[in-house]
Amino acid sequence: MNLLILLAALLISSQASAWGKEGHELVCAIAEENLTEKAADFVRQTLALGEFLDGNTKNDLASLCTWADKAKYGKYTSTYEAHFLNVPADKNKIDFGRDCAALDCIAVAIQRNLSYLNSPAGSKREKSRKAAALRFLGHFVGDIHQPLHVSNREDWGGNKIRLTWFGEKTNLHKMWDVNLLEKAGLNHPGSLEFLLNQTVDDDQHNVLKWMEESFALSRKYAYLNVENQTLESGDNVGQAYFERAKPIIIQQLTLAGHRLAYLLNALADGSLDTNFLID
């Protein structure tokens, strides 16, 4: 019985790990470097509320941006679906009524945590919730930019597609979380400066559009080999796929960091519309 539970946990754990530690920390570190003074204060004060959540009052956001992946197996199992959005493989558009209704999805999770962050916290419970909301937000804005977190339901966001990557067994989801970043030498803090030097030409402030972008990237690149055939279990993936994916990874990590900063800056100066999920 215990073995079954362990196996189930292992299966689940590969469903939605997202970017891995390096990617999540990079996203939050980029955001921290792009905060206004007001937002940096807001982040510091909110991180300090971790005292009420679990006693962790570390004041760098980057180190807390992987917390949500651990939390979903512990006290916060109900946040599991908040890490992704799955679309049926035969559908070409996200439909909230179909894909994000009975179960939460990443867009709802981002909206909810933004509204917690946007509310005053008086009671201990509210303070604890606000501390959690910042950690969740930092993590989910990272996740929403990982193409396989907005992808196909049937293969669990690529987790069921088992591949060989430069001779190593992996799966499509893990490749985008971890393997591609490792191969590209992307890690925190080693790559922070490199990513901060990337030019960002972005005026997209709509969370739903970020999700649509990831969905398009997953369908157009992640699921296809360089001959544009759909990847299947047993396939080999190597240099050509890596070279096509690398600029996408760099772009998505960079955008995620800047967009997280945008949300925090707007929250701090009171200009954020947290009511974006109108579909």
Q: 69 vs 155, which CB is nearer to Zn ion?
A: 69
Taking CB under 5 A as the criterion, which residues in 169-228 touch Zn ion?
none
Q: 22 vs 69, which CB is nearer to Zn ion?
A: 69
Residues 3 and 9: their CA atoms lie apart, in Å, by 10
Neighbours of 34 (CB within 10 A): 19
Question: CB of 139: closest distance to Zn ion in angstroms?
Answer: 6
Q: Determine if 99 is a binding residue for Zn ion (CB under 5 A).
A: no
Return the range that interacts with Zn ion (CB under 5 A); candidates 14-22, 35-43, 163-171, 178-186.
14-22
Residue type, 153: R
Q: Determine if 83 is a binding residue for Zn ion (CB under 5 A).
A: yes
Q: Which tokens go with 42?
A: 């807001």
Please pick, from the candidates 25, 81, 143, 177, the single residue that binds Zn ion as defined by CB under 5 A.
Answer: 143
Type and span of the H or E element at 30: helix 20-33
Residues 20 and 91: their CA atoms lie apart, in Å, by 28
Taking CB under 5 A as the criterion, which residues in 106-125 touch Zn ion?
none
Residues 122 and 125: their CA atoms lie apart, in Å, by 8
Q: 83 vs 112, which CB is nearer to Zn ion?
A: 83
User: What is the x/- site pattern for Zn ion, positions 53-82, by CB under 5 A?
Assistant: ----------------x-------------
* DSSP-derived secondary structure letter, 150: E
Return the range that interacts with Zn ion (CB under 5 A); candidates 139-147, 158-166, 172-180, 194-202.
139-147
Tell me the sheet residues that pair with 85: 150
Return the range that interacts with Zn ion (CB under 5 A); candidates 7-15, 16-24, 160-168, 205-213.
16-24
Q: 170 vs 265, which CB is nearer to Zn ion?
A: 170
Q: 16 vs 121, which CB is nearer to Zn ion?
A: 16
Closest CA to 279 of 205, 212, 204: 212
Q: Determine if 18 is a binding residue for Zn ion (CB under 5 A).
A: yes
Asked if residues 56 and 65 have their Cβ atoms less than 8 Å apart, the reply is no
Return the range that interacts with Zn ion (CB under 5 A); candidates 142-150, 182-190, 221-229, 242-250.
142-150
Residue with tokens 């007001």: 38
**DSSP per-residue letters across 70-114:** HHTTTTTGGGGGGG-EEE-TT--S--HHHHSSSS--HHHHHHHHH
Q: Determine if 129 is a binding residue for Zn ion (CB under 5 A).
A: no
Q: 155 vs 177, which CB is nearer to Zn ion?
A: 177
Q: How far is CA 237 from CA 58, 151, 181, 267, in A?
A: 39, 19, 15, 42
Q: Determine if 28 is a binding residue for Zn ion (CB under 5 A).
A: no
Q: Which residues bind Zn ion (CB under 5 A)?
A: 18, 69, 83, 143
